[in-house]
A = this chain, B = another copy of it.
Amino acid sequence: MDLQFLGTSSGVPTKARNVSATAVIEASGKSWYLVDCGEGTQHQLLHTPLSMRDLRGIFITHVHGDHCYGLPGLLASAGMSGRSEPLELIMPLALHEWLRLSLAVSQTYLPFELHLLAVETLQDWRSAQVAVTTVELSHRVPSYGFVFTEINPEPRLDTERLQADGIPRGPLWGDLAHGRQVEHEGRVLDTLTYLKASRAARRIVVCGDNDSPALLAEVAKGADVLVHEATFTEPVLQRSQSNFGHSTAAAVAQFAEAAGVPNLVLTHFSARYQDNPQRSPSIDDVRQEALAHYSGQLTLARDLQRYHLGKDGLLAAV
């Protein structure tokens, strides 16, 4: 699985970073999922190979504008580009009426079905390749994280079971291996019964805004990658009067270290952190603060950068 960041700035866009949006890409490299859709997400997509036709679902973590204002434009452009497959959109119930009104008032008629699901009551959402569950976070408004887990990755024939069930080696095995339903001795064989994953399923957790990383304790177990906001560093937080419902790099790094998460990706940086390390505060301050508490593979997300979760279990820029 890959990740491609479409926006890594908190609250407002900067010249270098757009507001929140993250693409989670299947191991096939084609089908993908969008977490959050700040204004300008469709513009960022123009600079990636991701196609709106291959988008399998949109997940919105919370109602703040920097996480959802890009939805009406993204959907309108998807319509104009000729998407015809239904699209599922999982988001806070409060945004459902707003999105419908946004499309209606602008007389935008989509040529595909839009299925709106409430994140508050989402149960085990699945595409053909990926299962998604939610985790409740803590922010100024209700906020969620999304746990993406591969389903049956790289399936191979379960030859032991085939032999035990007396299915003769030959064309039948080939059909099952290609996912085709076959008949044998008058009964239909279910392809899924005879396919099993040839490697462990990957798990990526992509979080919305959150001031309490400890809420991720359960889902962090067995997660390969944790994508979490690090809006502030400790010195900046201490000078301000409030954390505004956000986390510091230190707090997230400490949590990830304790939970044993092998890959930590920080994002959603306050616009005050400059990309130029000569300026203060800089994004390098965020990195140094996290490194002081975390010994795993640390990534500070950059706009449009794609990261690949390799066979060694480590996330690396590609």
- Which residues of A does B touch, CB under 8 Å? 11-15, 18-19, 38-40, 42-43, 46-47, 63-66, 68-70, 72-73, 76-77, 80-81, 94-95, 97-98, 101-102, 105-108, 140-141
How far, in angstroms, from A39 to B42 measured CA to CA in the complex?
A: 9
24 A-B pairs, CB-CB below 8 angstroms?
A11-B80, A12-B42, A13-B46, A18-B43, A19-B73, A38-B73, A39-B42, A39-B70, A39-B72, A40-B43, A43-B43, A63-B107, A64-B108, A65-B76, A65-B102, A65-B108, A66-B73, A69-B69, A69-B76, A69-B106, A97-B105, A101-B101, A102-B102, A107-B140
Nearest to A12 among chain B residues (CB) is: B77
New A-B pairs, 7, CB < 8 Å, besides A65-B73, A69-B102, A101-B101: A11-B80, A13-B42, A43-B43, A65-B76, A94-B105, A97-B101, A107-B140
Q: Which residues of the partner chain B approach A12 to less than 8 Å between Cβ atoms?
A: 42, 76-77, 80-81
Main secondary structure of the interface of A (DSSP, over half): loop
Nearest to A45 among chain B residues (CB) is: B13
Q: Which residues of the partner chain B approach A106 to less than 8 Å between Cβ atoms?
A: 63-65, 68-69
- The distance from the CB of A179 to the nearest CB of chain B, in whole angstroms, is 36
Those 9 A-B pairs whose CB atoms lie nearest each other, nearest first: A39-B73, A65-B106, A98-B105, A69-B73, A40-B40, A12-B77, A65-B76, A13-B43, A63-B106
